[in-house]
Amino acid sequence: MSSRDAILGRVRRALADVRQDDTPYDEIIDRSYLREHGHRSVEETVDLLAENLADYRALVHRCTEEELPEVLMRLLAERGSTSVLVPPQLPPSWLKAVDATRVHDRANSTPHELDRVDSVVTGCALAIAETGTIVLDGSPDQGRRRITLVPDHHICVVRVPGQVVSSVPQGLERLDPARPMTWISGPSATSDIELDRVEGVHGPRTLEVVLVSGQPRAEVVP
């Protein structure tokens, strides 16, 4: 007998006392928990996202669509980045003001090659306000998971309010499980030394999030 059959047989024998239930799964679980916590206006939701991102040490910037190329240029320059990784279909206008060398990720790029790049700029699939989370799902403006991992500096652009949801349940509803995904809440961190949180281990030690809105607006750094 294969181990598969042995294990499934053990499971069935172990459950001999359990009445099999054909109630549809939707009706079995009591999902009376909240779809989101509290009521907020669209603007308040975006503010909460900014606040929670900053609370976990992401650097948050706000600008308009028109200001974005300028902001990205400035953030890369301030960092002193001479090279920047570019996902396959990052909107070309975003980096039009950037001087740094654009490095395009290829299927056969080695991790060592990625390690030599200073920064990476991506979009995102969505952002979750309550937890201060940005979600990448490998879409063409985000690229492979590794490109936001190996470089030490990640700039992620979030379109607000369109890409912002309030809560984890709302976020999962909008995501496609078939895509490889990375949920990011602040820069890499560890609590392994005396259960004290320290930012900056293996992932990018600097995470900058740019919240881009349609309307012109003064830049705010909370």
Site for another protein in 76-135 (CB under 8 A): 107-108, 110-112, 115, 128, 130-133
Verify binding: residue 29, another protein, rule CB under 8 A.
yes
**Region binding another protein by CB under 8 A among candidate stretches 90-98, 118-126, 197-205, 208-216:** 197-205
Among 54, 59, 97, 168, binds another protein (CB under 8 A): 168
Separation of alpha carbons 203 and 214, rounded Å: 31
* Cβ closest to another protein, residue 74 vs residue 146: 146
Give the closest residue to 152 by CA, choosing from 183, 123, 187.
Answer: 187
* Cβ closest to another protein, residue 63 vs residue 155: 155
Verify binding: residue 40, another protein, rule CB under 8 A.
no
Among 54, 56, 73, 83, binds another protein (CB under 8 A): 56
The identity of residue 71, as a single letter, is V
Size of the site for another protein (CB under 8 A): 76
Separation of alpha carbons 195 and 67, rounded Å: 41
* Cβ closest to another protein, residue 100 vs residue 184: 184
Give the closest residue to 156 by CA, choosing from 55, 33, 47, 72.
Answer: 72
Cβ at position 214, least distance to another protein in Å: 27
Among 10, 104, 174, 217, binds another protein (CB under 8 A): 10
For strand 83-86 and strand 164-165, is the pairing parallel, antiparallel, or unpaired? unpaired
Separation of alpha carbons 89 and 109, rounded Å: 17
Residue in this structure with the two tokens 């080695």, named with its chain if needed: 110
Angle value at C-alpha 172, between 128 and 90, nearest 5 degrees: 65
